[in-house]
Structures are given as C-alpha cells and as structure tokens.
Amino acid sequence: MTPIALVGIGKIALDQHVPAINASPDWTLAASVSRNGSVPGVQSFTTIEAMLDARPDIPVVSLALPPVPRFAYAVAALQAGRHVMLEKPPGATLAEIHALRDLAAQKGLSLYATWHSRMARGVAPAKAWLRAATITRAHITWREDVRKWHPGQDWVFEPGGMGVFDPGINALSILTEILPMPVHLTEATLTYPENRQTPIAATLRFSGNVTADFDWRQEGPQTWDIEVETADGTLTLRQGGAVLELDGKPQPLGQTPGEYPALYARMADLVRTRASDIDLAPMIHVADAMTLGRREVTGAFHF
Ligand code: NAP
C-alpha cells in the first residue's frame, strides 16, 4: 500500500476521504495537513511545507480544501515532487488548473482533477445508453438546501466559492460525461443574495436544447435529477446519478465501490501509469455562466 497525505480535514475529508482511504487496497493514510483538524491515529501537520519536509516517503497528496486556498497547496506538493489529487471544483479559476497541469507535466507527476459525481452508479450505464442516441432535449434540476449540506460554510458565498455552482458543477460533471455531443452555454440568469458575492440560484441554457435549474434554497425533499429525451425514449438519472430510469422504469444497476472509493482506485491507476486526468468541461460551463450571466438580486442570506 502506498502512503498518502490528506489535506484540509473538514466536512468532506471526514465524511468521505478518510473512510475511502481506510477501505482502499491501494492507500494507507500516512499524514494529515490541516490548521485545526486531524485524524485520530494519523500523524498531523498544520502546514503543507512541514509535511513535505518531514515525510519524503509520501508520494501522493490529496487536497480536500475549498477551491480558493487549494492552489498554493497543489503547487507546493507538485514542486516537492508529489502526485496530486484535487477535490472538485479543481480550482478557483481555469488558469490555475492550466498552471497545475503544466507543472505536473513538467515534473512528470500525476494530477487528477476528480469529479466524484461521475462515479455515481448510474453514470457509466447512462453514458453507454446515450452513446448512439439522438438527443432532442435535456434538463437538469439540482435543488438542495445549502443550510443542510454546507452548514456555516461562508466560503461558498465568497469570491471563488462558486455559490450554487459548488453543487451545480456536480450535475455539469455528469452532463458532460454522458452526453454524446459537446454543448456550450448560451444564456444564464444568476440570482445573488443582496449580502453575498456568489449566486444562490441559477438557470442555464446550452446549445442542443439543454437547460439547467440550480437552486440552493430547497427545503424538504432534495432533487438531483438529469432528464435526457432522445429519439428512442427518455433517460433519467436521479439522486445525483445513483438511480437510472428508462422511460420512467428504474433500471437494475450493478454493485459499484462508491464514489470516493472509485476516485481513489482511479488515482492509484493514474500514479501506476504516470498519467493525469484533468477534464475542465464542467468548470468551463461555470466560468461561462459567470461571464455571460444576467444578474438578479434577492433577499439577504444568513446561515
Ligand atoms: P470545509 O469543511 O469548509 O473545508 C475543508 C477544510 O479545509 C477545513 O476544515 C479547513 O481545515 C480547510 N480550510 C478551509 N479554508 C481554508 C483556508 N482558507 N486555508 C487553508 N485551509 C482551509 O469544506 P468541505 O465541505 O469539506 O469542502 C471542501 C471541498 O470539497 C470543496 O471544494 C467542496 O466543493 C468539495 N466537496 C464538498 C462536499 C460536501 O458535502 N461538503 C461534497 C463533495 C465535495 P482547517 O481549518 O483545519 O485548516
């Protein structure tokens, strides 16, 4: 098993990364880096530099920080000759990720821009079903309660936090994986709370009759659906890709390891083959929405 360091011990690190690494046949969690957080039984550091200096035996660093602080950590790890795994969204800007991609290539290291939602059970079968389809319309409905999923995380409403695109980019990561043709954004309306820097809701229109509705204000049942109409019937992914329906009928899906175990297995493959996996398509759509979006203002938002 290869030693790996996990950086940014917060919500997703504890919910998903630590259990996935602990259950992995490929990795052993050898160190954590976090200003406040730690993992019981694992050597902890408060700066990336201290960890990189003290543990030259750790060849891989997984960064579970929010996007804005993540870039400096990624540069430090790559400069120190370590392979790097990035949480989604892979950066605060596209240029940052181009810089990381170039640095990793120059150093001969693996860089993996992960998209955990692409590992949901229904995504690969949906992609296979749509491979030869003629798409007539597609619609994403991604409506969740920010207070439930990001309690007190003010960074999501700060510049670079992406607001409702933090979950919305998960939907776009699935869309860009399953559609047999590329699409591009043509129109967007972004709704900003009057006291915040990032949108709390967005409606998007793409080429190819593809639309999306993202909203972070949904209480009660949560909706993470993608419906794709084709000349041969309608494919629907529900529950973030965990459920696949064809013409309304749920399809049997094989057992899969789970989203985060699948990401860590993929990282093991990338490191073994000295390859990188950096698909920016989901983030390009978000950047385009920020570029082209019409702004609307709604009431103040407080956690
Ligand atoms: P989080 O809990 O708010 O942050 C993770 C940790 O990063 C924090 O506990 C903090 O640890 C460190 N951190 C935060 N700001 C920092 C800064 N300015 N400088 C250095 N370290 C900082 O966030 P999260 O929910 O885990 O999300 C992290 C990433 O995972 C995001 O990109 C998010 O989109 C993605 N993600 C989140 C979820 C989810 O359900 N929350 C699901 C999938 C993916 P210390 O204070 O100990 O340094």
Spell out the domain ranges in the chain. 2-113, 118-254+286-298
Q: DSSP H helical segments within 108-194, as ranges?
A: 123-130, 146-149, 165-178
φ/ψ of residue 299, rounded to 5: -60, 165
Which whole number is the average pLDDT over 298-302? Answer: 98
CATH architecture of residue range(s) 118-254+286-298:
2-Layer Sandwich (3.30)
> How many other C-beta atoms lie within 10 A of the C-beta of residue 207?
11
- Domain formed by 2-113, architecture: 3-Layer(aba) Sandwich (3.40)
Closest ligand 1 atom to the C-alpha of 149?
Answer: 40
Beta carbon of 272 within 6 Å of any ligand 1 atom: no
The token duo for 211 is 């639309």
The helix/strand/coil state of 218 is coil
Reduced to 3 states (helix: H, G, I; strand: E, B; else coil), residue 39 is: coil
Rounded-to-integer distance, Cα 191 and Cα 178, Å: 27
Question: Which residue's CA is the nearest one to ligand 1's atom 48?
Answer: 35
**Contacts (Cβ under 8 Å, ≥6 apart) of 147:** 303
Ligand 1 pocket test, candidate residues 9, 11, 174, most atoms within 8 A of CB = 11
| Any ligand 1 atom below 6 A from CB of 148 | no
Q: Are 264 and 167 in contact (CB under 8 A)?
A: no
Written as six digits, the tokens of 195 are 């006291």
pLDDT at 254: 87
Q: What is the mean pLDDT of residues 233-252?
A: 98
Give percent of the chain with pLDDT exceeding 70. Answer: 100
pTM above 0.75, yes or no: yes
Q: How far apart are CA 111 and CA 159, in angstroms?
A: 25
The three-point CA angle 204-235-165 to 5° equals: 30
Model confidence over 61-76: pLDDT tens digits?
999 999 999 999 999 9
CB-ligand 1 contact for 44 (6 Å cutoff): no
